[in-house]
Structure 1
């Protein structure tokens, strides 16, 4: 394995006619194990946890738990393949570099993956704009939802102007901590309250849960529920950026094991406990089925995570764009220059404008998760890593563990193709159904979208 040394770039600061010994530096490759673990947790312990109760209400209790375990195992395995691939190619800094290597140093593949990474992250940023308005309106609708989205977007934009991951450790701790508190409020609140929000009586609004998918569940609903779970686990697109910025990238699996253990525990408990008390009345986000002050507290606690995770995705996207403009040896990356900061601010501004447009133009939560999962999770969660394993082990005798892993790699590629094709169809059909039933607000609307 290759160990990448931490690089600290230094320059002499000149003032007037005299040289000062003061050093100005911008650190790259500086992430520690603790910081990498924190970033993984802030990436995964996010608002999408609260989509699990709705997914379980579609798949059933056993169906939801089994799906969660299978997707988690796939994510862990493919993430380790990605880490090994990054260690073999230490110059890789983002998902586009992975595609470039996988496709025989194809510039077309690099461009396609780079665009995919940017769009994936910008869509997620837009999702956070939308989720912010839902949370604020749940606390109490006061004025135009589209303006609330703008305010949330500006807050995330301002926090996205930093240029390094190492400064995000404290924010990551706040995000994961508040989301953990929200998790407890959602789980405990559903256990304490007599009935979920929207309950009338057991005849009109039954709250019983089922072992498998309840009768009447459609194919589109089932695929959408599956895609919601896949979305929450599929974060491999950011891993090359984390590995590439670590002091000791060989420590990354430890961070991965810790974060994955926490994820499986939280996701399963949230989905199972909330679904067991709400049945088909489960909502997405899950705090929508709470009543009284529990709903307000839970909605408020989602806001730090919404903002910080939105900033994290902005940082990854902006760095990827910035690194294509300036090489690693460029003075504009190594020091604080007007041109460097001007370019950085321009990039951050442009992607947040796009994110706001997406968040307001596509005003739904679950369906947007499904769209992101099918279009991007299919590649970044499955197809790439099955292909990466086959390429890394090309030429090995087809026997033993290699034979088993090769079969798994082919299955992963097949699953990714299925998600891309069938998942995209189901996502689009679900959007059409949502508009047809009037269950979502119109684009750029001032109407109340809270619970």
Structure 2
């Protein structure tokens, strides 16, 4: 099934489980997956239902990223913007299917690092694990900045911005402390409700207060750098696939994971299009990013205030993911993973604190942090959400179905997955290029502030 199995010991062993249960059954999956049988354990991870997984996916993906979509339409125009959002939503659904199928065939995979080990051995595991942690920490920092903006709007900027970030970091840390995603899933329910209501309030506020003399275009012409910067907004608004393996690992019935993916992508794509189009049509080409900042003060305060639970829980999910990857790596197959031990809980709390502290320091201490989020997303999210799915499909078909001949026999899917790999590479390289160019321009124009400034 893959290289990782040769390294990790399981209880029962893969050979014993395969002899007892057919490989395709759910019983076999639970016998050999990362957490193993849990009936007698104090801490049980595999408790999530697929509706709660869908809620978790929506909570972490449909968040502050959608507030940049109206400005994307302002750059490329209404029709191209809609086409990009819908296409990326459909593309994300396809790559989600590939990731889920790979996880079901390789129950021992817990995170992108484990998948990297199967593909490329030790270097693959270290690189993809490192990328997951880095992107999760940067995404947490991005949510802290979103919370900072929300709190600053609510208080009319009465405090130093760094203080707002610190205030928001405390509940984010506390909400990321539960050891299992089941606990966080219930916190994610109000998170999803809050971003939906906030989006509706934002659209109503835009409709009741349209920008006088606003300009909107069906399609706009612009240079590559500007256009691609706008396209990266919807690209990274879907950037949540790096969590999928971890989420599925804590499901009661992982075979139902695709149901959650359908709910996520259909809801996200529909909501993104409706929100982006309505906001852009009423606020015009000068709409801000985040778009709530273009609303009149009372509407901006209402929208930001309602969205705060979503920013908070999304940040908690990201930092939880980074800590969970390392925690399972340290204690895989040990009693500290499933029992209330001092070492287990001490390590978990320390990891959660480190991830949140790193996100806070980066958010307030690095003047170009917003651009660094773009670099991290280009380097890692482009692969986790899009490109790596192609490599996983090609690997499994090659090893399980008969090598190169199997690729030729499935020529259509082979072509799609090769293009998926190429798309990930293009987004990675082009995203890096335009982000670095933005950083250079920001320094030249004097827009970059001092570290730890208000």
TM-score when normalising by structure 1: 0.88
C-alpha change, 1:340 and 1:398, in structure 2 (3 Å) is: closer
The answer to whether the Cα contact below 8 Å between 1:2 and 1:90 also exists between their aligned partners in 2 is no
Match of 1:445 among 445, 449, 453: 453
Residue aligning to 1:18: none
Residue aligning to 2:308: 303
Indicate the structure with greater strand content: 1
Residue aligning to 2:434: 426
Per mean C-alpha deviation after superposition, the further-off stretch among 277-286 and 89-98 is 277-286
Taking the aligned partners of 1:391 and 1:10, their CA distance within structure 2 comes to 36
Q: Give yes or no for the alignment of 1:54 onto 2:50.
A: no
Q: CA deviation at 1:191?
A: 0.8
Taking the aligned partners of 2:208 and 2:307, their CA distance within structure 1 comes to 20
C-alpha change, 1:301 and 1:52, in structure 2 (3 Å) is: same
Q: CA deviation at 1:362?
A: 4.1
Match of 1:405 among 400, 404, 413: 413
The answer to whether the Cα contact below 8 Å between 1:51 and 1:366 also exists between their aligned partners in 2 is no
How many correspondences in the alignment? 418
Taking the aligned partners of 1:218 and 1:361, their CA distance within structure 2 comes to 32
Taking the aligned partners of 1:66 and 1:411, their CA distance within structure 2 comes to 19
Taking the aligned partners of 1:292 and 1:138, their CA distance within structure 2 comes to 8
Taking the aligned partners of 2:195 and 2:319, their CA distance within structure 1 comes to 19
Q: CA deviation at 1:310?
A: 0.6
Taking the aligned partners of 1:129 and 1:255, their CA distance within structure 2 comes to 27
The answer to whether the Cα contact below 8 Å between 1:175 and 1:304 also exists between their aligned partners in 2 is yes
Residue aligning to 1:8: 38
Q: CA deviation at 1:365?
A: 8.1
C-alpha change, 1:51 and 1:440, in structure 2 (3 Å) is: farther
SS of residue matched to 1:27: coil
The answer to whether the Cα contact below 8 Å between 2:172 and 2:316 also exists between their aligned partners in 1 is yes
Q: CA deviation at 1:371?
A: 2.5
The answer to whether the Cα contact below 8 Å between 1:130 and 1:364 also exists between their aligned partners in 2 is no
C-alpha change, 1:305 and 1:365, in structure 2 (3 Å) is: farther
Residue aligning to 1:120: 135
Taking the aligned partners of 2:290 and 2:439, their CA distance within structure 1 comes to 17
The answer to whether the Cα contact below 8 Å between 1:231 and 1:377 also exists between their aligned partners in 2 is yes
C-alpha change, 1:188 and 1:372, in structure 2 (3 Å) is: farther
The answer to whether the Cα contact below 8 Å between 1:187 and 1:270 also exists between their aligned partners in 2 is yes
Taking the aligned partners of 1:65 and 1:57, their CA distance within structure 2 comes to 11
Match of 2:317 among 312, 318, 327: 312
C-alpha change, 1:225 and 1:362, in structure 2 (3 Å) is: farther
Deviation digits for residues 157-179 of structure 1, max 9, x if unmatched? 12222110111122110110000
1:197-276 equivalences in 2 (<5 Å)? 202=213, 207-214=214-221, 217-276=222-281
Match of 2:166 among 138, 147, 150: 150
RMSD: 1.9
Taking the aligned partners of 1:365 and 1:386, their CA distance within structure 2 comes to 30
Taking the aligned partners of 1:245 and 1:2, their CA distance within structure 2 comes to 17
Taking the aligned partners of 2:412 and 2:322, their CA distance within structure 1 comes to 36
Q: CA deviation at 1:246?
A: 0.9
Match of 1:436 among 433, 444, 451: 444
Residue aligning to 2:59: 42
The answer to whether the Cα contact below 8 Å between 2:176 and 2:319 also exists between their aligned partners in 1 is yes
**Structure 1: which 4+ aligned runs deviate by more than 6 Å?**
none
Q: CA deviation at 1:54?
A: 1.0
C-alpha change, 1:339 and 1:398, in structure 2 (3 Å) is: closer
1:185-196 equivalences in 2 (<5 Å)? 185-195=201-211
Taking the aligned partners of 1:169 and 1:294, their CA distance within structure 2 comes to 29
Residue aligning to 2:189: 173
Taking the aligned partners of 1:124 and 1:350, their CA distance within structure 2 comes to 15
SS of residue matched to 2:38: strand
Taking the aligned partners of 2:80 and 2:370, their CA distance within structure 1 comes to 18
Q: Give yes or no for the alignment of 1:388 onto 2:388.
A: no
Taking the aligned partners of 2:187 and 2:407, their CA distance within structure 1 comes to 47
Match of 2:93 among 76, 89, 108: 76
C-alpha change, 1:273 and 1:443, in structure 2 (3 Å) is: farther
C-alpha change, 1:431 and 1:361, in structure 2 (3 Å) is: farther
SS of residue matched to 1:8: coil
SS of residue matched to 2:43: strand
Q: Give yes or no for the alignment of 1:416 onto 2:387.
A: no
Taking the aligned partners of 1:440 and 1:133, their CA distance within structure 2 comes to 18
Deviation digits for residues 201-221 of structure 1, max 9, x if unmatched? 64xxxx21111225xx33222
Indicate the structure with greater helix content: 2
Q: CA deviation at 1:431?
A: 2.5
Q: CA deviation at 1:317?
A: 1.1
